Amino acid sequence: MNVMMQWTYSMARRPQVLFTSEYMKAAAALLILEDLEKTGRVKDVEFKDEIGTSWTKKELTKLLDEIKEEPQDVTVYFDGGYMKEEGMAGAGIVIYYSQGKDKKRIRMNRLLEELVSNNEAEYAAFYEGVKELEVLGVHHQTVTFKGDSQVVLNQLSGDWPCFEDTLNAWLDRIEEKMKQLGIRPVYEPIPRKENQEADKLATQALKGEFISSTINL
């Protein structure tokens, strides 16, 4: 969870100054505040998260304690492989995240039927990744999505228009699910060679080789 911090710096008989920080990890913001409070000149402290919700120090501390065992720092890699003759797709998803003091990785794939294009396969793979986030308990945080499909990522970000009804249906489905979960997406297109894990999983699904694993890194 990222927050920005606002506080008033006050000195006797001198003008007060309002400071605003950049966004940072909430835990880091609380550590910085502890250091600032040692000066005795800090007051009216407020934290704001990336969707504009305000938190006091007490509220933010309580929240971090409540979510400390939930997945954080989540990155999703996705890829879709398509077999035109069969109308089938393989979806490959890799999710990296931290949970408490542990770093973890999920690898999974799915075989999907009745699709009409490679772009639809990429959208379907992305959606499978979002559904897995729901199972994992990821909510109300920023998630980075990485893939080699320029079409999917640029259409989801709004940088490219989407004129195909089939793809628009997937786009709406994905956005609705992320809104439901309170996920703030960051879309990051990457070269295919950096997406080899997800690509291999998608290929394995098309071959009937199904993977579902979670490991500590």
Residue 35 pLDDT:
94
Same-domain pairing of 63 and 81: no
Residue range 107-128: average pLDDT? 95
Task: Answer whether residue 1 shows pLDDT above 90.
Answer: no
Same-domain pairing of 196 and 97: yes
| Closest by Cα among 93, 145, 152 to 119 | 152
Q: Is 58 exposed, middle or buried, given 0-12, 13-18 or 19+ CB atoms closer than 10 A? A: exposed
Number of domains observed in the structure of the chain:
2
CB-based contacts of 175, cutoff 8 Å, min separation 6: 156
DSSP state of 193: G
Distance between CA atoms of 151 and 198, rounded to whole angstroms?
17
Same-domain pairing of 77 and 139: yes
Domain limits for position 20: 2-67
From 45, 67, 89, give the residue that closes a domain.
67
Distance between CA atoms of 78 and 3, rounded to whole angstroms?
28
Residue predicted with more confidence, 140 or 194: 194
Residue 63 pLDDT:
86
Residue 141 pLDDT:
86
Residue range 95-101: average pLDDT? 92
From 41, 67, 93, give the residue that closes a domain.
67
Residue range 77-102: average pLDDT? 92
Same-domain pairing of 33 and 89: no
Same-domain pairing of 58 and 149: no
Same-domain pairing of 87 and 47: no
Q: Is the pTM of this model over 0.95?
A: no
Same-domain pairing of 149 and 204: yes
Residue range 47-72: average pLDDT? 88
